[in-house]
Structure 1
Amino acid sequence: MAQVTTLPVKESIDHIASSINWMTEDYPPYNYIESGEIKGISVILIKKIYSNLDIQPELLNLSLYPWARAYKTLQQDKNSCLFSMTHTQERAEQFNFIGPIIDTRISLISLSDRNLATHPKALTKMRIGVVKNDIGHQLLLKKGMSEKRFVFLSTGYEMVKMLAMGRVDIIAYGENIAKFQFGKAGILPSQYKVISVLKNSQLGFACNKQVPKPFIEALQKSLMKVKIEELQQFNQTQ
C-alpha cells in the first residue's frame, strides 16, 4: 500500500492559501479600488489575518469584481472566498463564514422629499434599485417581492445616483455603505432617509464549502486574535 504523505500544519495552511481566489466588490469603506489598488477596512483585516498566520502577503490572491459575478463564482469555484458579505441563515447553509467583521443594517432608502408607504402592497408598485444577489435583493425576494419590481445595478454608487435622478423610487442596501456612496455622489444626508429596516446582521468573509475546514478554522482563530489585539490597543489609548 502506498504511503500517504501528510503535510505539516503550517505548510498545509500555506498550500491552501496559495490556491484560494479571494474576491471583493466596490463596497466602501470596507472594500473598494482607488488608484488601481484594492483598499478598505476588510482588505486591511484579511491582510492582518494572513500576517498573524505567517502567510506570505504574495499568497493573497485578491480581485475586485461586480457583486453578481463574484457571488456566482463563489457558488461554483471550490477555491474561492468573497467579502464583505452580510450573514444570513440561508447564506450560512451555502457557504462557510469567517467573522464577524462588523455590524451592519440593511434598509430601504428613499429621497427625503418622497412620502412613501412601505407596506408590502405599496412596495409592489415601486421601482426598487438593487445589486443582483446582494443582501437587499435577497431579503426582498424572501418577502415575496416580484423580480419585475427590481432595477438591477452594478454598484451602490450607481444605485444612489439612480435614486437621486428619480429613476428608482427606493434602494435596498447597507446603510453605512449607502451613506458613503451618497457622499461620494455629492448627495447631502438631508436629501435621503431610511424608510424601513430590512435586517440587522453582521459582515464577514465567506468561502465555498469545499475550502478545507482547517483553513477556515485557522482564519477564524486569527480573526479573533486580531480583533482582541485591536481592542487591547484601543483600551491602552483611553
Structure 2
Amino acid sequence: MPPYPAALFACVALCMSTPALALRFVTEDYPPFNMLEENQVSGISTLILREALSRAQLSAEFELLPWARALAMARSQPQTCVYSAVRSAEREKQGHKWVGPLVDDRISLFARVDSKIKLRTLGEARNYRVGGYVADAYGDYVERQGVRLDRAPADLMNLPKLMAGRIDLWVAGSISGAYKAKREGYQHDVKLLLSGGEPRDSQMWLACNRAVPDALISSLNEAVKSVHADGTAARFAARYH
C-alpha cells in the first residue's frame, strides 16, 4: 500500500466526524480535458480528478454545463467546484480554494488554413475580427492585449463562424483548439497561428467554493500531485493524442 500524506488522514478524520460531504464537480465541454464520452463526463482533467478522488478516499458527482453557469455555481453553492479553470486574478478575488494545476493549454489564435494573416504578438490581432466565448479566461487575456472579441454564448459556435468567414481568428487553447477542430471535422481547415502568455496564464485548476473544508482541499492537492508525479496523468493525456 502506498504511503498517504498527512493531509489525507486529516480529511478522513473530518469525514468520519461529520456527515458525508456531497461534493459536486461542474465543468464545460472543453475537449480533450472535459467532455462527454459514452454518457459520462471524461477527458484528461476529469480522469485526473477521478483518480485523485479515489486516492483521497473521496467521491464527487460530475456534471457538464454551460461555462458561465458552472462558474457561477462554484461561487454560490457550498461543496461545489468548477474545472478546468484558469487561476486568474479576477477569480482569486472571488475567494475560491484551488486544487492543481491539473493541465496546461497555451493561449492561442487559430485561423483558416487559407488565411494570409501573420502575427508576431497576440496584441496585433486587434486589427482583425476575433472570436471567443462568454466568461472564458483565455478570451479575457487576449482582450487585455487590446483585442476586441466577438464573444459567442458557447465555444462550439466559433469554428463554424471561422469557416464561414464571420470571424478571422479564434481564441482557443493550443491543445483543445486542435482537438475540437479534429472532432468537428475541420482538422485540415484550420491552423494554429500564434501562442502566447506566461505558463500561469494557461494552467487550469479545480476551483472550489470557499465553504469546502481546508483539510479536503489539502488532501485533494496532495492526491493530484501524486497523480502527476507517478506518470498517471501523462498516461491519461496519451489517450487523447
Assess same fold via TM > 0.5.
Answer: yes
Spell out the pairing of 1:157-196 with structure 2 (5 A cutoff).
157-189=156-188, 191-196=190-195
Distance apart, 1:139 and its partner CA: 0.8
Distance in 1 of aligned mates of 2:45 and 2:85:
10
**Cα separation, partners in 2 of 1:206 and 1:184, compared to 1, 3 Å:** same
Kindly indicate whether the alpha-carbon contact (under 8 Å) linking 1:85 and 1:205 is maintained by their aligned counterparts in 2. yes
Distance in 1 of aligned mates of 2:41 and 2:170:
25
AA in 1 matched with 2:159: V
Distance in 1 of aligned mates of 2:69 and 2:132:
15
Identity of aligned residues (%): 24
Distance apart, 1:231 and its partner CA: 6.2
Distance in 2 of aligned mates of 1:17 and 1:202:
30
Show CA shifts across 1:125-148 (max 9, x none).
Answer: 5332112111222113333444xx
TM-score by length of 1: 0.79
Unaligned runs of 5+ in 1: 1-7
What corresponds to 1:83 in structure 2? 83
Aligned residues: 221
Distance apart, 1:124 and its partner CA: 4.1
Distance in 1 of aligned mates of 2:227 and 2:188:
33
Distance in 1 of aligned mates of 2:233 and 2:105:
23
What corresponds to 1:135 in structure 2? 137
Kindly indicate whether the alpha-carbon contact (under 8 Å) linking 1:109 and 1:196 is maintained by their aligned counterparts in 2. no
What corresponds to 1:39 in structure 2? 42
Kindly indicate whether the alpha-carbon contact (under 8 Å) linking 1:108 and 1:198 is maintained by their aligned counterparts in 2. no
Q: 2:21 aligns with which of 8, 18, 23?
A: 18
AA in 2 matched with 1:51: S
Distance apart, 1:63 and its partner CA: 0.8
Distance apart, 1:112 and its partner CA: 2.6
TM-score by length of 2: 0.79
Distance apart, 1:79 and its partner CA: 2.4
Unaligned runs of 5+ in 2: 1-9, 236-241
Distance in 2 of aligned mates of 1:199 and 1:163:
26
Spell out the pairing of 1:135-154 with structure 2 (5 A cutoff).
135-146=137-148, 149-154=149-154
What corresponds to 2:5 in structure 1? none
What corresponds to 2:208 in structure 1? 207
Structure 1 residues 132-141 or 213-222, which shifts more?
132-141
Runs of 4+ displaced beyond 6 Å: 231-234
Distance in 2 of aligned mates of 1:109 and 1:233:
25
**Cα separation, partners in 2 of 1:13 and 1:204, compared to 1, 3 Å:** farther
Report which of the two structures shows the higher radius of gyration computed on alpha carbons.
Answer: 1
Kindly indicate whether the alpha-carbon contact (under 8 Å) linking 2:27 and 2:83 is maintained by their aligned counterparts in 1. yes
AA in 2 matched with 1:63: E
**Cα separation, partners in 2 of 1:98 and 1:179, compared to 1, 3 Å:** same
AA in 2 matched with 1:27: Y
**Cα separation, partners in 2 of 1:211 and 1:142, compared to 1, 3 Å:** farther
Show CA shifts across 1:148-178 (max 9, x none).
Answer: x4231413x3322221221211111111001
Distance in 2 of aligned mates of 1:83 and 1:141:
22
Kindly indicate whether the alpha-carbon contact (under 8 Å) linking 2:21 and 2:79 is maintained by their aligned counterparts in 1. no
